[in-house]
Amino acid sequence: MRRYGKLINVCLALLCIVLVLILGGLVVWNRNQTREDKQRLEKLADETRAEDREDLQKLDKKQEETAKELQQKAAQEAEVTATPAPTLSPVPSEPVKEKTAGISCWGDDLLTAEDTQQYSYMTVLQKLLQENGYNIPVVNKTLQGGGTLSMMKRAGVDDQIIQNFISEHQKAANGAQLYVTETGIRDFTEEDLTRDDLDYIPVIFMGYYGGWNHDPAELAQQQEHILKTFSNQEQFIIVGTRPLDGSVDSAALDAALSEKWKEHYISLAAVTSSPSSTYEAQAAMARAVYEKMVELNYISK
C-alpha cells in the first residue's frame, strides 16, 4: 500500500513535469507565432502603402493628362470661334505743326537797344512761349523813338495814304510848329522794308511818340493800315498806351481803341500802374499778350 502510494506520487511528479514542458513549449510557440504574425502584418501594411502610393501617382498622372486634354480642346475651340483681329496699317507719324507761324511785334520800342535784348515785352513774351512748350518765334519790328508815320512806311503802307495824314496834320496845325513825328518819315534801307512776317500774328503797340495828331480815332486808322499788310487780318492784338506828351489820357485812348478793336484790345494802363518804359510794365504787357493769345485761341495745347 505504501509502495503503491509512492508510485502514484512519482507518476504525478512526472505528469507535472510533462505539463510544465508542454506549457513552456506552448509559450515559446505562441511567442514565435506572434512575432511571425507581426512581421506578416507589417509586410502587408508596407505592401498596402506601396500600392496606395502607386494608385495615387497613377491618379495624379491621369488628372494631369485630363487637364492637358481639356486645355488643348479649349484652345482649339477658341481658334475656331475667335474673330481674327484686323491688321492695321502703320500710320506715318507727322511732326506736330504749330497753330501759329509766328508773332510780329510792330510799333514802339521804349527801351534802349541793350535793354530790349533782355527786358522788352518781346523778349519776355518769347520766354513765356518757350516755357509753356510753344516753339513760336517772336520777331521785333519796332522802332526806337519812331512815330506812327514811319511805322506805316516800314510796313509798306502806300505813300499817298501817309501823305494824306501829313496834310491833315499840317492843316489842323494852321501854321503852328509840329513835332517831327507828325510830319517826318524816317529813311529805311531795302532790308528794313523787306517783309518776312506776313503770315505772322501782329501785335501792334504804337502811338507813344506821336504821329497821329493827338486823335485816338486817327491812331486806330493807322493801326488798321498796318494790320491790312498782313495775310490774316482776323488774328491780331492791339496794345494801347497814352502818348509821351500827355496830350491824350489813358481813359480817352482806351475808350476809343477798345470800341474799335473789341476783344483784340489790351489797355496797358489796365495791366500795370508802372510807366510803360519800365521793365515791370514790359513784363506785365508780355504776360497780358500771352494770356490774350490763349483767350483768343491763337495758341492752345
Which one of 13, 44, 67 terminates a domain? 67
Do 169 and 34 share a structural domain?
no
Contact 243, 279 (CB under 8 A): no
Question: Is residue 72 domain-resident?
Answer: no
Q: Range of 176's domain?
A: 103-295
Do 255 and 191 share a structural domain?
yes
**Per residue in 178-218, pLDDT tens?**
999 999 999 999 999 999 999 999 999 999 999 999 999 99
Distance CA 81, CA 247 (A): 86
Confidence band of 297 (pLDDT split at 50, 70, 90): very high
Question: Is residue 79 domain-resident?
Answer: no
Do 152 and 32 share a structural domain?
no
Q: What does the pLDDT read at residue 77?
A: 61
Task: Find all residues with CB under 8 Å of 222, minimum gap 6, and list them.
Answer: 148, 149, 151, 152, 165, 206, 211, 212
Do 216 and 140 share a structural domain?
yes
Q: What is the CATH number of the domain that holds 190?
A: 3.40.50
Residue 166: pLDDT over 50 = yes
**Per residue in 236-274, pLDDT tens?**
999 999 999 999 999 999 999 999 999 999 999 999 999
Q: Which residue has the higher pLDDT, 150 or 33?
A: 150
Do 277 and 133 share a structural domain?
yes
Do 124 and 58 share a structural domain?
no
Of 38-42, 170-174, 282-286, give the lowest mean pLDDT range: 38-42
Do 165 and 18 share a structural domain?
no
Do 113 and 62 share a structural domain?
no
Do 270 and 167 share a structural domain?
yes
Question: Is residue 90 domain-resident?
Answer: no
Do 2 and 136 share a structural domain?
no
Confidence band of 39 (pLDDT split at 50, 70, 90): low
Residue 128: pLDDT over 90 = yes
Q: Which residue has the higher pLDDT, 287 or 49?
A: 287
- When divided into structural domains, the chain yields a total of 2
Amino acid occupying residue 143: L
Do 168 and 32 share a structural domain?
no
Q: What does the pLDDT read at residue 66?
A: 62
**Per residue in 50-103, pLDDT tens?**
565 665 566 556 666 665 666 666 666 655 455 454 444 444 444 444 578 999
Question: Considering the chain, what is the average pLDDT of its residues?
Answer: 85
Distance CA 256, CA 251 (A): 9
Q: What does the pLDDT read at residue 15?
A: 78
